[in-house]
Structure 1
Amino acid sequence: MPRFTYLYDTYCGWCYAGAPVISALVEAGAEVEMHHRWLFAPEHAQTMGSGLGRMIEQHDARAEQLSGQPFSETYRENILRAPEERLESTLTAQAAALVHDQGAKVEMALARRLQKARWEEGRSAQDAAYIEQILSDEFDTSTALSDASDAARAMAQETERLMHQYGLSGVPVLIMERDETLYNIALSDYYNRPEEITTLLR
């Protein structure tokens, strides 16, 4: 059976677009190694009022059209059109680090829950209390997000190393290894039929 490596960031819109595909792969029992990138680090964070919100809205419209994933009006109002809202994935990187050792199924389930909080519920990227509530109530994890800072940073560094190794620049990335050969799988090929990703397991 092939092995997979998935590089992602919870708050990457295209990762959200491809999330049902990765979930289908994980739920089918595939061996998937998850690596959160921490794409939107604090040292590079921008606010939506800098013009970032308008740019993201255009990209989101394209992702929604292609994937069918919902980008709600609540999200647009609370996030993209909130001038002081920062695009930063520190808290979700820490959340991913807290559950990483529980395996891909749990880490992907958390990613999808946090994506729902953002793109459907319109929750801020800086709402630590809400993320910790999700971790506690739905994933039986009561550790504070801040306690995972070092682990999140180490995970991000490993992801950057892999991206350099594979000659990649952006996420999401799904690498399949079969018979010692690597394949870069295009998630967009499965947007409208995510369950068909499981044909790669045959």
Structure 2
Amino acid sequence: MNTTLRYLFDPLCGWCYGATPALSALEEVPGATIELLPTGLFSGEGARPMDDDFAAYAWSNDQRIARLTGQSFTERYREEVLGDRRQFFDSGPTTVALTAVSLTAPARELEALKAIQRARFVDGKDITDLKLLASLLASLGLDEAAVMMEHPDTDLLEANRIRINRAGTLMWELGARGVPVFVADTGKERRMLHTSAIYSNPRALIDQLRAA
């Protein structure tokens, strides 16, 4: 089987964090290549201030995801991220950080995504901070990407824009309305996989991918 699995996501999306175990399971499938495509859903016009109502909504949603998936959303995240009124709900910086990794160490982008998610949802870190993201990438040994994040230049931002546009085009073509989205492409056929079962059974996508 030679299949490319395109994963459309947003780094701040709780449901995408909940899908991480399913994504990790897919790494075990021989002949399957995973391509990450951030959608920019919560960046630009999709970014917003963190107010009391939105924080309460996010925490309620996060608790549901935790029950379904076993993924951890800590009290530290609740207090230091959702409770911080100076911090925007903005995935722009993290999306740029992942693009920097895709340009310099593409095989490690999923590893970087997991580290970014953990920094937010478990460690309660402000991952909208460029210096923090640069330090996080450096701690993973992704030094080139870390340097790029210290001062994002026009080339990096353009590469990021292109990736977001690719994801948006693919979502439009498939009629996808939200994330996460998993798209299997065999070269002859391209189809969107069903995600309803992945939260309780991370290996549910493997059968779909093999069938594709």
The TM-score, its normalising length taken from structure 1, stands at 0.89
Structure 2 residue 161 is the aligned partner of structure 1 residue 153: yes
Structure 2 residue 146 is the aligned partner of structure 1 residue 140: no
Structure 2 residue 17 is the aligned partner of structure 1 residue 9: no
Q: Is the 8 A contact 1:48 1:87 kept in 2?
A: yes
Q: Where in structure 1 are there 5+ consecutive unaligned residues?
A: none
Residues 43, 197 of structure 1: CA spacing in aligned structure 2 closer, same or farther, 3 A cutoff? closer
DSSP 3-state at the match of 2:8: strand
RMSD over aligned Cα atoms: 2.0
1:122-152 deviations in Å (ceiling 9; x for gaps): 0113221111012123123333322322221
Aligned to 1:166: 174
Aligned to 2:191: 183
Residues 136, 182 of structure 1: CA spacing in aligned structure 2 closer, same or farther, 3 A cutoff? same
Give the C-alpha shift of residue 33 in structure 1: 1.9
DSSP 3-state at the match of 1:186: coil
Partner AA of 2:131 in structure 1: A
Between the aligned partners of 1:10 and 1:126, the Cα distance in structure 2 is 11
Q: Is the 8 A contact 1:88 1:125 kept in 2?
A: no
Between the aligned partners of 2:158 and 2:53, the Cα distance in structure 1 is 31
Give the C-alpha shift of residue 196 in structure 1: 5.5
DSSP 3-state at the match of 2:126: coil
Between the aligned partners of 1:187 and 1:113, the Cα distance in structure 2 is 23
Partner AA of 1:140 in structure 2: D
Following TM superposition, where does structure 1 have runs of at least 4 consecutive aligned residues deviating by more than 6 angstroms?
Answer: none
1:144-173 deviations in Å (ceiling 9; x for gaps): 322322221221111111111111111100
Structure 2 residue 25 is the aligned partner of structure 1 residue 24: yes
The aligned length equals 201
Greater relative contact order: 1 or 2 (C-alpha under 8 angstroms, separation 6 or more)?
1
1:65-115 deviations in Å (ceiling 9; x for gaps): 111100000000011122222100111111111112433x41111110000
Q: Where in structure 2 are there 5+ consecutive unaligned residues?
A: none
Aligned to 2:78: 76
Between the aligned partners of 1:151 and 1:75, the Cα distance in structure 2 is 30
Q: Is the 8 A contact 2:29 2:206 kept in 1?
A: yes
Identity of aligned residues (%): 29
The TM-score, its normalising length taken from structure 2, stands at 0.85
